[in-house]
Amino acid sequence: MLIRHALKWQQKKQRYRYGNSWTVCAEWARLAVELEYNESMGHHGFGRMVEEKPTSSRAWSSFFWVGIPTAALILIISIFLWDKLRENERQDVENKLTAASALIVTPIYNIIENHIQSLAAMGKRWELTQGTSEALWTADAEQYYTGTKIYSALEWIDQNMVVQWVVPAQLEPKIKGIDFSKMPSRYEALTFARKTNQPTLSKILEFLQGPKGFFIIIPLSHAKGFEGYIVGAVDVKKLFGKIFNSNMGDDFGIAIYQDSDPVFSTNTKVLDLYTVKKTALKIQNITWHLYIWPTKKLLDQSFTLLPLVVLVSGIIFSMLLLIIFFILDKLHGYSRKMNSARLEAEKALLRLQRILDTVNEGYVAMDKETRLLDWNPCAEKLFGWKKQEVLGAKLFDLIIAPENRDSQFQKITEFVANKQSIVMNKAVELMGRNRSQTLIPIELIIFAIVLDGEITYHLFIRDIAERKQAEEQEARFASIVDASDDAIISVDLNGQVMTWNRGAEKIFGYEKEEIEGKSINTIYTEEDKTELFSLLDKIKLGEHIHNHDAKRLNKDGRIIPVSVLISPMKDKQGKVIGGSSITRDISERKNIEKMKNEFISIVSHELRTPLTSIRGSISILASGTFCALSEKAKQLLEIANTNCERLIRLINDILDIEKIEAGKMDFNLKLIHLNQLLKEAIESNQSLAAKYNIKLELINDEDIEVRAEYDRIMQVVTNLLSNAIRYSPVNGVVKIQITNLLNKVRVSVIDNGPGIGDAFKDKIFGKFTQADSSDTRQKSGTGLGLNISKAIIEKHGGQIGFLSTEGAGSTFYFELHLEKTKTNTMAPTHATPLRLLICDQNVESANSLKDLIQKKNVHVDIASNVQQAKKLISEHHYIAITLDPLLTDEAGASFIQYLRENPNTQETPIIVISGEAEEEKKWRGINYPIVDWMQKPKNKEETQVIIDYINKKFTNRSANILSVEDEMDVTRLISIMLQDRASVWNANSIAKAKKLLQDHEFDLVILDLNLPDGYGASILPCINYRTKEPIPVIVFSVDILAKKYSAMVKNTLLKSIATNEQLLSAIETAISVGKTK
């Protein structure tokens, strides 16, 4: 309203100055329309700000500040005068009370003192005459009683405090003979008088004869001694009535108190506590308090209405003055408010004009004939005409295309006739045109305003080309979504379905109308419905869910495997309002994966198992066990063995890649000693290094523990070592270095090979990746080793990388996290080999025998004298001891005696190896039990005889082995490797294995996991039920044993990886441990 008044005021002002200019009127009318438009569109325009703002933000005026202090000053002066006048009147009353009090106190004091003196004179006469007769005392007392008129009685009390004489005589029957010693108050006063021998006053008390009063006591003493008391009983009513009646009149009220007990009162009401005067009256040994106050008569005479008149007059005058100043202040404030409103209105109009000049929408004002009155800069930019060029022109002829011109003009004329129109306050979309005659899609809003009967139209025009383009894109996107075979679904934060495309109808069977507005859990299986809440929580947090495999339920109840991609939906402010998901039916993919897994299983069993047998057979033939081989035959077997190993590695690598990608490669993590693993890796790769004349070095031997799977880390190290060996120059060195990096450890394999080119570095960890140069391509390999190694290390939570300069060698490294808490858990290692002790003073001969025996998985220690032998025996357990009886520092026979008396070696077999065994056996005459005497070997063939004798005699003595294997070739291979050191039984099914275990006793079970009638590990619980000691089990299969069975087996070997030597070593170790137990 304020703005409208301001507009009208400004319009009239302009008309007064410039005449009836229509343009000026339309200008201000346009601004008012802008105000209404902003309000209707929800814009907080400056006009609204003016209306909502307080009409006056003034501080209190100077008039008001002057009025309040002035009125307050007058009021204070009035109160001060009132108080002073009242104080003067009170002071006058107090002065009168003081004078009256003096008139009362003095007579009281004088009268009582006179009576004390009179009674004291009577006592003096008694003392001078040394006693008085009753008649004489009575006559004297009656004369005194009659003359004073204040006594109730006069009494003589003897020294025993008994009343003897009484005046007047009519009181004798009541008083005479009373014993005052039995009355506490009287006894106290009489005792005090006798003690002090002075006249004494008692406290106020009730007399026996009736009235209230006090005693004047005169003690009597003379030469004969104490003779009692003369007591005057003073009637206080007679005493004070006589005094007050003569001095006070009726102007004052009086009361006398002894402590808190009233003694006398005039029965006059106290009207003003502030005017009561209190005076202490001390006579002899007692103190009374005199209270005196003015009566109503005196107060009426002393207090006038003058103070009240002064106070009321001051209050009335102050209020009148305050009202006057308040009215003046209001008038001043109203004037100031009007000026402020005018200024605010002018500012609002100026702001509105500036807004229209800077707004991003075209603004146009026109009259009822559609002639242009205003045209803002945005309209200039939109249509191309300057404001000065278009003022006065017909708007629709200018900016509306010819096909829409007549209809728009008709709508305007209808509004003029009917005061309303369908386009008023509504957005209309149509095609406009600019100066270059280019058609523009625009949105038009028309407002009308009437001021003083004159109407103007105001248009806001918006270029909607971008919006139209966005709508077309949205329509195209909607058609794409609708045509997609994937289910594209959107839900709100409560899981209610918002949109549902045709792909969703096809996959889940629900029509759009059936599911929209209902909960999305309709398509969730019962076990997956709890997952919905987790997904909704992630959506609310703005998280994306990628490639989430799940199961969903279609309308027919069929479970569908799906892959889901979920993204949060947000509004313009970035707030999450729901989620959008793309769900793809992966039933076909799952079927393909199932077929692939079945194929992998077939390849694992049907291809790797024969290859294992072939490799084992070639290895046995190449060893020359059955016959001597020519050089040509050895070369052919070497070629066959090399390519067999290459084919096995290729199959293993491909299967490992498939397991990694399928997420089926499990890891049994335990604490392992990293330095021990690296030593074993170097040992197992020595043969490959020797082939290329490469030296392997372990730089740092620090004992570091990590939590990892032993075999998989060994696989990584072996991959890196084999690559470094194959790419190093002849006579080169490959180094392995352990570096402790605080919370993690780095293992580096360093070579001085050709290095890696820059173009190849980004592809080094890819599948089937090898360098393409003529020098590197000739190296054997599948190109999968580094890719598998990278996956294994990353599964361990570590990382793998390399540093390389072309022509300067490469360093491949991997990093694993260190175990924070060191425990006693040991890493899985290969079984400890059997130990043999050679006691021989000829070190060269002993070393030759040691080199040959250690190849048979028997660890050999050498002692060149008895002291060394005793030390080694105290540290290790040996399966046998070979002894040269001619030791340099002690006779052999004495040493044998020591061995047989030592509890650790009492049962240890002893083989005496001497230059002339038979002769030595005859003349030595040793009586201690010895297993055998043997001739010291002179050549390789004789040495082999001793080795075979030891293996047959001590390592495999009639062992029974059960091979649970459906491939008979594998069982035959094991039997051939063991030769005649063990009996190998075969069971090609679980059922047959259980029957054999029930009927026979075995020292070892070698178990394949893939059997025709089930999973081989299922018989593990049945193996040891008949035996007190557990039977060792070695799993020898193409598959990895499930974790839950790992504690039930001695060792696990993969057919595709384990060599004949490793298998034989595991068998011999297991049998040896079993026999030791």
Give the tens place of pLDDT for each residue, 895-911. Answer: 777 887 787 777 677 88
Euclidean distance between CA atoms 896 and 883, whole angstroms: 9
| Token representation of residue 733 | 């060195």
| Nearest residue to 637 via CA among 651, 652, 610, 616 | 616
Question: Domain 468-585 is of which CATH architecture?
Answer: 2-Layer Sandwich (3.30)
Euclidean distance between CA atoms 853 and 949, whole angstroms: 11
- Phi/psi region, residue 935 (left: phi>0; alpha: psi -120 to 50; beta: rest), is beta
Q: How confident is residue 236, by pLDDT bands cut at 50, 70 and 90?
A: confident
pLDDT digits (tens, 9 = 90+) for 606-639: 676 777 778 777 877 777 766 777 888 877 887 7
Average pLDDT, the chain: 77
Q: What is the pLDDT of residue 736?
A: 92
| Token representation of residue 1012 | 């025709």
* DSSP annotation string for 504-519: HHHHH---HHHHTTSB
Where is pLDDT greater, at 923 or 337? 337
Q: What is the pLDDT of residue 1044?
A: 80
Euclidean distance between CA atoms 382 and 707, whole angstroms: 72
Q: What is the pLDDT of residue 414?
A: 61
Q: What is the pLDDT of residue 29?
A: 42
Residue 817 identity (one-letter amino acid) = H
Q: What is the pLDDT of residue 64?
A: 62
Whether the per-residue pLDDT at 1019 is higher than 50: the answer is yes
Question: Within 626-731, where are the H helices?
Answer: 631-662, 674-684, 686-691, 710-727
Euclidean distance between CA atoms 756 and 812, whole angstroms: 11
Euclidean distance between CA atoms 24 and 27, whole angstroms: 5
Q: What is the pLDDT of residue 339?
A: 86
| Nearest residue to 371 via CA among 22, 36, 33 | 22
Q: What are 565's strand-pairing partners? A: 582
Choosing among 3.40.50.300, 3.80.10.10, 3.30.565.10, 3.30.1490.100, the CATH entry for 666-817 is 3.30.565.10
| Token representation of residue 1000 | 């026979």
Choosing among 3.30.450.20, 3.40.50.1100, 1.10.760.10, 3.50.50.60, the CATH entry for 98-303 is 3.30.450.20
- For residue 168, whether the previous peptide bond is cis, meaning omega lies within 30 degrees of 0, is yes
pLDDT digits (tens, 9 = 90+) for 2-48: 334 434 434 443 333 333 333 333 343 444 444 444 444 444 333 33
Euclidean distance between CA atoms 414 and 431, whole angstroms: 21
The rounded percent of the chain whose pLDDT value lies above 70 is 79
Q: Chain-centre distance of CA 389, in angstroms?
A: 67
Euclidean distance between CA atoms 735 and 681, whole angstroms: 12
Least confident of 193-202, 387-396, 476-485, 848-857: 848-857
Placement of tokens 């404001």 in the chain: 387
Euclidean distance between CA atoms 962 and 400, whole angstroms: 100
Torsions phi, psi for 105 (to 5 deg): -60, -45
* Domain spans, the chain: 62-84+305-341, 98-303, 362-463, 468-585, 593-655, 666-817, 834-953
Whether the per-residue pLDDT at 830 is higher than 70: the answer is no
Q: What is the pLDDT of residue 813?
A: 92
pLDDT digits (tens, 9 = 90+) for 771-790: 544 444 445 556 778 888 88
Contact, 10 vs 349, CB < 8 A? yes
Contact, 864 vs 871, CB < 8 A? no
Least confident of 209-218, 263-272, 873-882, 963-972: 263-272
Least confident of 224-228, 289-293, 413-417: 413-417
Q: What is the pLDDT of residue 982?
A: 78
| Token representation of residue 41 | 């569109």
Q: How confident is residue 814, by pLDDT bands cut at 50, 70 and 90?
A: very high
Q: What is the pLDDT of residue 48?
A: 37
According to CATH, the superfamily of the domain at 834-953 is Response regulator (3.40.50.2300)
Topology match between the domains 98-303 and 362-463: yes
Where is pLDDT greater, at 151 or 942? 151
Q: What is the pLDDT of residue 852?
A: 67
Whether the per-residue pLDDT at 749 is higher than 90: the answer is yes
Q: What are 552's strand-pairing partners? A: 524, 560
- Phi/psi region, residue 949 (left: phi>0; alpha: psi -120 to 50; beta: rest), is alpha
Distance set, CA 722 to CA 692, 781, 835 (Å): 11, 10, 31
Q: Chain-centre distance of CA 302, in angstroms?
A: 84
Mean pLDDT value of segment 504-510: 88
| Nearest residue to 376 via CA among 396, 366, 361, 394 | 361
Mean pLDDT value of segment 81-87: 87
Euclidean distance between CA atoms 1032 and 1069, whole angstroms: 10
DSSP classification of residue 814: E
Mean pLDDT value of segment 583-589: 85
Q: What is the pLDDT of residue 604?
A: 62
Residue 802 identity (one-letter amino acid) = F
Mean pLDDT value of segment 874-902: 73
Mean pLDDT value of segment 980-985: 76
- How many Cβ atoms from other residues are within 10 Å of residue 630's Cβ? 8
Q: What is the pLDDT of residue 747?
A: 92
Mean pLDDT value of segment 875-890: 72
Contact, 1010 vs 981, CB < 8 A? no
**β-pairing verdict for 880-883 and 910-914:** parallel
- Phi/psi region, residue 560 (left: phi>0; alpha: psi -120 to 50; beta: rest), is beta
Whether the per-residue pLDDT at 62 is higher than 90: the answer is no
| Token representation of residue 695 | 């030296």
DSSP classification of residue 558: -
Q: What is the pLDDT of residue 717?
A: 92
Least confident of 275-284, 296-305, 452-461, 774-783: 774-783
Q: What is the pLDDT of residue 832?
A: 45
Highest mean pLDDT among 226-235, 536-545, 819-828: 226-235
Half-sphere exposure of 321 (CA within 13 A, CB side): 17
Q: Which long-range contacts (CB under 8 A, 24 or more apart) does 1056-1063 make?
A: 1056/608, 1056/611, 1056/612, 1056/648, 1056/651, 1056/652, 1056/655, 1057/648, 1057/652, 1059/619, 1060/615, 1060/616, 1060/619, 1060/620, 1060/973, 1060/977, 1061/857, 1062/830, 1063/616, 1063/974, 1063/977, 1063/1036
Q: What is the pLDDT of residue 969?
A: 79
| Token representation of residue 595 | 């077929």
| Nearest residue to 721 via CA among 742, 703, 698 | 698
Tell me the three state secondary structure of residue 644. Answer: helix
| Nearest residue to 666 via CA among 830, 535, 791 | 791
Tell me if the domain spanning 362-463 has CATH number 3.40.50.2000.
no
Whether the per-residue pLDDT at 423 is higher than 60: the answer is no
Q: Which helix (H) or strand (E) holds 87?
A: helix 62-128
Residue 112 identity (one-letter amino acid) = I
DSSP classification of residue 149: -
Contact, 552 vs 562, CB < 8 A? yes
Mean pLDDT value of segment 871-893: 73
Residue 212 identity (one-letter amino acid) = K
pLDDT digits (tens, 9 = 90+) for 933-964: 776 665 555 666 666 666 555 544 457 888 99
| Nearest residue to 1019 via CA among 1007, 1003, 1031, 1032 | 1007
| Nearest residue to 744 via CA among 789, 799, 810 | 799
Contact, 504 vs 510, CB < 8 A? yes
